[in-house]
Structure 1
Amino acid sequence: MATRAAQKRLTREYKSITENPPPYITAHPSDSNILEWHYIITGPENTPYHGGQYWGTLIFPNNYPFAPPAIRMHTPSGRFQPSSRLCLSISDFHPRSFNPAWEVSTILIGLLSFMTSDEMTTGSVSATEAERKAYAARSRWWNSTGGGSHKGPATNAGKGNVRAGDGGTKFKAEWPEVDQENWKWMKEHKVDLVTGSKPDAGAASCGPQLGIAAAGSGHQAHAVVDAVIQQRDAGQGWVFRNKLFIFGSLVFFYVLVARLLGEGS
């Protein structure tokens, strides 16, 4: 339970961030617990996350602002491990470095800044730009369907720990209007609700094959192998399609050379 000081401080910060939201960021406390905040970061332009919808939580201690929150991002991004606590100077990994003057908006701006950098820490992962773009394209689908688990039985998520098996229940509860927009968007773009793929994505895409869990190096290696095979098959296909032309050209040059040799003799 939040102390009176934490309750007063977070109430004031909610009013502030609602009236003056930082760019690409929106956030609010849960109706049932003011210490549990939910945020959405919209991927900025000129980054691999452009257009992505990244949902996460801030779990504040009851003595906030004298201690920092636990920070998690639930939506797979190719930057952070989904639902893992992130080790940042503004998170609960480093309580001594936290400044009580920092607010929720300060924390989320810091998270966005770190997300768009190349620094590594506990909870972060490595991925290619193509993989991160693929995650961004499927982020709305992941949030609202629970990674395609919306038709199965919902599982109970632990405190601050939202996995892809909840069927999108938690996201819908915290972001009902955004969830409706996501379903409308998926219907308009004919998104496959099981895989999150669009019809125009193509079955032979060399991009990462995203499932419920974050794609690992095995998916990347598989994509590279697919690309090599496609290049090899493309070369064989050209020779096959033009074999008559190649054969005719060889005959022509053979006759031409024979005539030149005959006239010389």
Structure 2
Amino acid sequence: MSLKVAQKRLTREYQTIADKLPPSITAHPSDKNILEWHYIIGGPKDTPYADGQYWGVLTFPDNYPFSGPTVVMKTPSGRFEPSKRICMSISDFHPKGFNPTWEVSTILIGLQSFMAGNEATTGGVYASNAERKLLADRSRWWNSTAGGSHLEKTSSSKAGDGGKRFREEWPEVDKANWEWMASNDVDTATGRRAGADKNSCAKTSLGLGGSSGHNVVDAVVQQRDAGRGWMSRHKYLIAGALLFTYVLIARLINGDSLA
């Protein structure tokens, strides 16, 4: 009985949702399952996400609207971990706190607002503003190519779906994305724009994995590895300095003369 209530409620909400959402947010239920909704959120203005196109999924429980949905964002953003459940007061993490008067539009507007903040949360990640801006710039490319996996010749556990799922749910948006990539000279293998400085930290390929299974290349990790490389090259110098410091401290403790 509860499932029928959820289906009826979501069907009614879909009929009116266009009037309740701002132009920067759109959503629809999957053709195969009324309990699965796909959304696209435009990056909030005056934030590093401003130019981004963020695709995600809401999965509603059978007893909706008495419990909230699972909320995930598939597009790498630097705010949320791709395809991981996001803890919000309006998500399934807090079923007892969900208000039955809240609707899909309430949830998505709340998610957009929450994205603009920096609150630590389950499913959240940390990234610099430069990293988030880069991910925003590559978000259309990522959505329509699944992180460049459209070029994969063989299927594997590490390959994505080549943008198939996004194309199925958002055919018109996908077409516009490909036109945008062509007009902006975007390399469909990497998401880089033509002429981009590959050595620039602000243009490092970040977090472009996610549900496709592609490796996440984080600038923080690169910096850490660079530090390890320097230490490896100067290990003898470092060891000598440590030994000298140890001997000096030992002599001071013993009261010996430094002369």
TM superposition score category, shorter chain reference:
0.7 to 0.9
Q: How many Å apart are 1:102 and its aligned residue?
A: 0.4
Question: CA separation in 2, counterparts of 1:10 and 1:44?
Answer: 26
The 5 A counterparts of 1:13-32 are 13-32=13-32
Q: How many Å apart are 1:10 and its aligned residue?
A: 0.5
- Residue identity matched to 2:79: R
**Residue in 2 aligned with 1:175?**
170
**Residue in 2 aligned with 1:131?**
131
Q: Is structure 2 residue 194 aligned with structure 1 residue 191?
A: no
Question: CA separation in 2, counterparts of 1:92 and 1:112?
Answer: 17
**Residue in 2 aligned with 1:73?**
73
Given that 2:151 and 2:189 are in contact with CA atoms closer than 8 Å, whether structure 1 keeps it comes out as: no
Residues 178-237 of structure 1: per-residue CA shift (max 9 Å, x gap): 000000110111111111000132223221323434443213557999xxxxxxxxxxxx
Given that 1:153 and 1:167 are in contact with CA atoms closer than 8 Å, whether structure 2 keeps it comes out as: no
Q: Structure 1: 5+ residue runs without aligned partners?
A: 158-162, 226-265
Judging changes above 3 Å, is the alpha-carbon distance between structure 1 residues 20 and 90 closer, same or farther for their aligned structure 2 residues? closer
Q: Which has the larger radius of gyration?
A: 1
Given that 1:56 and 1:75 are in contact with CA atoms closer than 8 Å, whether structure 2 keeps it comes out as: yes
The 5 A counterparts of 1:1-265 are 3-152=3-152, 165-207=160-202, 208-210=204-206, 211-212=208-209, 213-216=215-218, 217-219=220-222, 221=224
- Residue identity matched to 1:26: T
CA RMSD of superposed structures (Å)? 2.4
Q: How many Å apart are 1:22 and its aligned residue?
A: 2.4
Question: CA separation in 1, counterparts of 2:125 and 2:199?
Answer: 26
TM, length-normalised to structure 1: 0.77
Given that 1:154 and 1:166 are in contact with CA atoms closer than 8 Å, whether structure 2 keeps it comes out as: no
User: How many residues get paired?
Assistant: 220
Given that 1:138 and 1:197 are in contact with CA atoms closer than 8 Å, whether structure 2 keeps it comes out as: yes
- Residue identity matched to 2:76: P
Q: How many Å apart are 1:168 and its aligned residue?
A: 0.5
Given that 2:20 and 2:105 are in contact with CA atoms closer than 8 Å, whether structure 1 keeps it comes out as: no
Given that 1:74 and 1:82 are in contact with CA atoms closer than 8 Å, whether structure 2 keeps it comes out as: yes
Q: How many Å apart are 1:127 and its aligned residue?
A: 0.5
Q: Structure 2: 5+ residue runs without aligned partners?
A: 210-214, 229-259
The residue matched to 1:150 in structure 2 has which SS? helix
Judging changes above 3 Å, is the alpha-carbon distance between structure 1 residues 89 and 5 closer, same or farther for their aligned structure 2 residues? same
Q: Which segment drifts farther, 97-106 or 210-219?
A: 210-219
Question: CA separation in 2, counterparts of 1:131 and 1:94?
Answer: 30
TM, length-normalised to structure 2: 0.79
The residue matched to 1:33 in structure 2 has which SS? coil
Given that 2:61 and 2:68 are in contact with CA atoms closer than 8 Å, whether structure 1 keeps it comes out as: yes
Judging changes above 3 Å, is the alpha-carbon distance between structure 1 residues 133 and 11 closer, same or farther for their aligned structure 2 residues? same
Given that 1:78 and 1:214 are in contact with CA atoms closer than 8 Å, whether structure 2 keeps it comes out as: no
Given that 2:75 and 2:142 are in contact with CA atoms closer than 8 Å, whether structure 1 keeps it comes out as: yes
- Residue identity matched to 1:150: H
- Residue identity matched to 2:36: E
The residue matched to 2:34 in structure 1 has which SS? strand
Question: CA separation in 2, counterparts of 1:223 and 1:201?
Answer: 22
Q: Which segment drifts farther, 197-206 or 74-83?
A: 197-206
Q: How many Å apart are 1:2 and its aligned residue?
A: 7.5
Sequence identity (%): 59
